[in-house]
Structure 1
Amino acid sequence: MEAAIEVQPVIKVAALCGSLRKASFNRGLIRSAIKISKEAINGMEIEYVDIAPLPMLNTDLEVDGTYPPAVEAFRRKILEADSILFASPEYNYSVTAPLKNAIDWASRPPNVWADKPAAIISTGGGFGGGLSQYHLRQIGVYIDLHFINKPEFFLNAFQPPAKFDAEGNLIDEDAKKRIKEVILSLQAFTRRLQGKSQ
């Protein structure tokens, strides 16, 4: 008699981009990650969660323990996700204002980030968004996010050859391979934290 094969539930990943620009290279990284997960990774579903509709954090908007509709919808997406994928551009050595705003809204009581695994990818000039990643990791300590340590993904968007097309889509094959490695590491780490084997 053959042993039954355990079918593991699909890992649901909420993907957030710190840039609101439609042709943003960092949003292009998210689109690439979604495509890779659909075509080359079993048991993982990445959904882009738009942070643009969120109002600026103002606790006056909290009424009797409830939040504005856009905030409630965002918090629900984070709560229902098994893990988080951030695409974090670097503004002034840190994370962007829209991303910090989203993080702060979801950390309001009850903190819906708590105990979730996460990964970061970024692109930009110089260090490719690296300083924003390290600042995001610091924020993650307080809100109880568990980031994968390796592999790290930084991409200099402006160093030849071209990494993105005119619409902000990732066209660099090596970068796509590296994103896949990040996603696989996040998948394995999520399973580990859930107490399940690969």
Structure 2
Amino acid sequence: MRLGRLTAVGAAAAGLALIAAPANAFTVTNSGSNSVTGTAKGVTTLTANGQVLSCQTSSVSGTVNPGSSNPVANITSASWNTCDWNGYPASVTVTNPNWQLNYVSGATNNANDTNIAGTITNISNVLVTINGPAGVCTFNVTGSVNAIFKENNGKGGQEITVLSTGSTLTISNRNNFFTCAGLVNNGNTATFSGSYNLNTLAGQINVLP
């Protein structure tokens, strides 16, 4: 099966993680460059405390790891741009990420698989800054997310979609109770959603059972 153009989101971002060891054996090969990039197909969202961080553009990049063990790829760069938090200007800064894309299940010998399950784990070093009504509010986002890879046999481009379900993202290190009041709290759980078109420089990432 083919895991073409590559989180995070990830992310994502940015951002765009699949968990632990897969239930079934698998092998990853790559006919193109092991460098992979992902560009968001549209707006990506981070939801926490009933409020939404929306970013108009996002991209991720990393390296594919051919072989038979997780992670199948490492996301080493992620960005989100033109963002707002429920109408307040916001920004996302990601520093030296090493997020891990892991295979979970769903690989078959069909080159058109559209439901390959995975996770993006080790999400960290994400700083969100909001210019809110009471001042500047900052906080970190850490955790993991579930994702689905669509192989599409290269037709119309391969993609990965980060799911809002099954996320373990958590808010921490909020800078100030007063400037963040009503926006977000430490310990809030968060979800991320977004789809990314993947590019491995004219190649295909193949995931075989």
* TM-score above 0.5, yes or no: no
Q: What TM-score do the two structures reach when normalised by structure 2?
A: 0.29
Which structure's residues are more often strand, by fraction?
2
Which structure's residues are more often helix, by fraction?
1
Q: What TM-score do the two structures reach when normalised by structure 1?
A: 0.30
